[in-house]
Amino acid sequence: MNHHTEPGPAAQPVEPAVTAAVVVDELVRGGVRTFVYCPGSRNGPIGFELTRRADAGDITLHVRLDERSAAFLALGVSKSTGAPAAVVTTSGSAVANLLPAVTEAHYSRVPLVLVTANRPLSVLGTGASQTVEQAELLTSQVRHVQHLQVPERADEMNRVVRAQICHALGIGAGRLAGRPGPVQIDVPLPSGIPPQDRAVRFPAGRDDAQPWFRTAERDRRAAAPHRVDLTRPTVLVAGDGADLTGIPASVPVVAEPTVDLQGRTALHPWVLDHVRPEQVLIAGRPTLHRNVGTLLARPDVTAVLIGDGDDAWVYAAPHIDVLTANPVFEGTVGPEWAQRLTRLDAVLRRTWAEVLDESGHRATGAGVADAVLRALRPGDLLWVGASNPVRDVSLTGSLPAGVRVLSNRGVAGIDGNISSAVGAALANPDRTVVVLVGDLTFAYDAVGLQTGVLEQVPDNLVIVVSNDAGGGIFEVLEQGHPKYRSAPYGNTFERIYGAPQNVDFAALCASYGVDHRTVGPDALGPALTAARAGERPVVLEVPVARTRLRELHAHTRQRVTAGLRTADAPALVG
């Protein structure tokens, strides 16, 4: 590749192709190996350079039409690999379409790089076509906006452009300031004309493919220590993004499905409904279960939030007693307390298993989640959609060993889940990626299945759609109470909460060249096993009942109460 990096004539103005080549080269040196490109005119020079680098085997390139979907695909790559991926757009409204994925990356701390082509500064504010103040569009959700200052001379490109890109990548990785997250690099290009020669000559960067400058990891261990007495009845509640390193494995933990337990065994989340710990440790952002907030609000509970000292402190701030980035653990967890929680956990899991085996309950979202968990294998990657699916996974069973779980929990929206899962599948070709989503989530982001005829298709992707004809989550919330399902509300609940859609999923999948099968809950396990052998994405649609969800949860809680009225119940509840 050295023959492409010869310095050009110093006195010549910088051509768009040279700017594009330097930008891409420094991004690659900074660790960006996957690019998702959205076709456009203004970003054409970047697209030509990306194609050249992809053909040379330097990067992986995906092309997508929809910028919103493309950004979520890049998010899925970054989330599943830990390395920054980039999405590249043209100017104008294309940039605005990045906002949903950027918001998710912001709150879930994913290092996402946005490369947005722009008109030159001299054109902004003149009413030129496809020109907006796009450097201001995403400022509230990105860590940094770098409006690239392109010098007039090629021999100044390195110290100006390369340095700016290194600065932006350092911020996005969390090495220069704050926490990891999305950054925008806005690239003004005077023209979208392709390069005259495919082998563009551009100023060489550092030797040995190193970035222009390196940014070292910040040391967050300097925070004042806080002593945590583990002899007090204590529970650790771990939410998305939690890092359990340094927390003794003996501390009982209630964890959301996306948490890396590091060999621990998590308690069922309903355990928190039946115990009164004196102390609750919080790691990550546990936003999945309401009983966590209820527990933290109790005046007799000391809540200790363990964070990294940046802006992680916002979680449940009104109910947090102690914020610490440097907990020091003293004492050991009492055996009686640990045994009590373990026995209570056993009752809850046994009850859920018994209820789901009863007639009718298998044909629910919870039954589908249980069947998916049973069919997973070590090494699989499970992508779980927001709303009910991620809750069903948390409530109904245990994950097999060696299965990784991902979900867009930053803002927990239903948008972008298919695109993100496709990104995870493309970035992990040696793993089967199983996706569990509801019908509304699937319909919302079905465009994520769209793939150009020249693009790589993820043949390791199996999508399970739990189709309950609407928004099942509202069935178990306050809005789903029977009193709101009759006069004077009439069909209001069904229209604005249930929101059933008239979508033929089989026809929709066929239009995207994706296999589709409708299976019953009892046949889901074998169907999922068979789908692993497919050579293109497979969608398994499972029709289930939405109106039974409220009854299922109520019935299960009644059975739990009955199960706790055994001889040893007094030792469990308190």
Tell me the average pLDDT across 42-67: 96
CA distance 537 to 533: 10
Using a pLDDT cut of 90, give the percent of the chain over it: 68
pLDDT (tens digit per residue) in 245-267: 999 999 999 999 999 999 999 99
Overall pTM > 0.85: yes
Q: Given CATH 3.40.50.1110, say whether it is the number of domain 362-547.
A: no
Using a pLDDT cut of 70, give the percent of the chain over it: 93
User: Does residue 3 have a pLDDT over 50?
Assistant: no
105 touches 410 (CB < 8 A):
yes
Taking the alpha carbons of 321, 325, 330, 335 in that order, is the dihedral positive or negative? positive
**Per-residue confidence at 220, pLDDT binned at 50, 70, 90?**
low
Helix axes of 67-81 and 99-108: crossing angle, nearest 10 degrees: 20
**Per-residue confidence at 8, pLDDT binned at 50, 70, 90?**
very low
What does DSSP assign to residue 198? S
**Per-residue confidence at 10, pLDDT binned at 50, 70, 90?**
very low
What would the two tokens of residue 67 be? 């910028």
β-strand partners of 329: 228
**What is the pLDDT, as a whole number, of residue 158?**
87
Cis ω on the peptide bond leading into residue 488 (within 30° of 0)? yes
More confident residue, 428 or 207: 428
Q: Give the mean pLDDT of the chain.
A: 90
User: Does residue 221 have a pLDDT over 80?
Assistant: no
Measured CA distances, 411 to 285, 341, 533 (Å): 11, 31, 34
Tell me the average pLDDT across 181-210: 87
Tell me the average pLDDT across 519-523: 95
More confident residue, 54 or 208: 54
| CATH number, domain 2-209 | 3.40.50.970
| CATH number, domain 226-342 | 3.40.50.1220
pLDDT (tens digit per residue) in 385-419: 999 999 999 999 888 889 999 999 999 999 999 99
According to CATH, where is 3.40.50.1220 located in the chain? 226-342
According to CATH, where is 3.40.50.970 located in the chain? 2-209, 362-547
The 10 Å CB-count burial string (b at 16+, else e) for 134-149 is: bbebbeebbbbbbbbe
**Per-residue confidence at 222, pLDDT binned at 50, 70, 90?**
low
Q: Exposed, middle or buried by CB within 10 Å (0-12, 13-18, 19+), for 403?
A: middle
Place of tokens 């006069």: 487
pLDDT (tens digit per residue) in 123-170: 666 666 777 778 888 999 999 999 998 888 888 888 899 999 999 999
